[in-house]
Copies of this chain bind each other. A is one copy, B any other.
Amino acid sequence: MSTRVTVWHEYRHEKKNPKVAEIYPKGMHEAIASHLRNNKDLQVKTATLDEVDHGLGGDLLDNTDVIVWWGHVAHGDVKDEIVNKVHERVLQGMGIVVLHSGHFSKIFKKLMGTTCDLKWREDDNEREILWVTRPGHPIVEGIDDHFILPNEEMYGEYFDIPEPECTWMMSSFTGGEVFRSGCTWTRGAGKVVYFRPGHETFPTYYDKNVLKIIENAVKWAAPSAGSVAHTFGNRKMGWVDEK
């Protein structure tokens, strides 16, 4: 049974910044999607901000099991009605994998209930070391106890998120900062993943460890096949003896 994945991308940097366009000629979403397509259990689509309804209209969300989300400079351009639809779908069971600067997206802040703010720095000499802090978690399947990204943007604590249900990866940076780089939460029936790396000016989404983790996260966040809808609202006294 395959998992239907939609990779959503802001897709603005590539159009304006030649450096980004050179690294990701088809956009960051295609770098991610093309990796996911190698997994025959995944059905992969992409959607971007400047499409009609941000590419998320019609029944696409209803037919999406897991959405991957990258945004940065245009969080404010995402329409609230679309954010609300994504939010509703997550509570119903659709998984969401929020990447890097997606920490400031409307949908992530709405799911977290906090500012999701952090410290940051762009520096050409910043090295990120990512450490596994929950070996055995399906999201770090096949990942060594650490891996290194030679160049990345720094994100530093305090990261204003609710205490994660699981912190499965933490980073250190050249400058001495630390960050909870891999976290999960549950909202309603939906699983929420945050994974830190992916600054647009570095080829992070070609790194085999990063891609493997995104792929693992998509599989982990997929809804259970046989989920039963829960019910809310008014109920009569005596229901239990009428059965």
Contact = CB atoms under 8 A, between A and B. Distances in A.
Copies of this chain, whole number: 4
B178 A171 contact: yes
| Chain A, interface SS category | loop
B136 A232 contact: no
Contacts of A236: 121
A211 to B, nearest CB: 14
Given A115-B188, A142-B228, A235 B121 contact: yes
Contacts of A154: 235
Q: What's the interface size class on A, roughly?
A: 35 or more
Interface in A166-193: 166-167, 170-178, 180, 185-190
Given A91-B114, A225-B141, A236-B121, A162 B174 contact: no
B237 A189 contact: no
B233 A145 contact: no
